[in-house]
């Protein structure tokens, strides 16, 4: 089942990805799921976007330097 997100005035791809996933690195995933809107840079209100699930994995590269495990 695909989730939906309805834009608010001024939303941008990266800000939507951050709201939904907590990180902008999933911006490409969001755009690919909504190719009919890929040319929009700043959204108007009320546009429905499909929100695919993404795997939330933390790698050593995602951590700040003081939390990285050396080895």
Residue 61 domain-assigned (yes or no): no
Nearest to 19 by CA among 39, 33, 5: 5
Residue 16 domain-assigned (yes or no): yes
In a 3-state reduction of DSSP, which class is residue 46?
A: coil
Q: How confident is the model at residue 70 (pLDDT cuts 50, 70, 90)?
A: low
Count of structural domains, the chain: 1
For the residues 4-28, what does the mean pLDDT come to? 96
Residue 56 phi, psi dihedral angles, 5° rounding: -95, 90
| pLDDT at residue 32, rounded to an integer | 96
Query: In whole angstroms, what separates CA 13 from the centre of its chain?
Result: 7
Q: Quick check: 1 pLDDT over 90?
A: no
Residue 67 domain-assigned (yes or no): no
Q: What is the pLDDT of residues 34-64, one digit of tens each?
A: 999 999 999 999 999 999 998 765 555 666 6
How far is the CA of 26 from the CAs of 5, 6, 17, 69, in angstroms? 15, 17, 6, 24
């Amino acid at each position: 089942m695909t989730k939906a997100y309805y834009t608010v005035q001024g939303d941008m791809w990266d800000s939507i990805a951050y709201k939904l996933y907590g990180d902008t690195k999933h911006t490409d995933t969001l755009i690919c799921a909504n190719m009919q809107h890929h040319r929009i840079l700043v959204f108007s209100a009320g546009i429905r976007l499909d929100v695919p699930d993404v795997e939330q994995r933390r790698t050593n590269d995602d951590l700040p330097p003081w939390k990285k495990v050396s080895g």
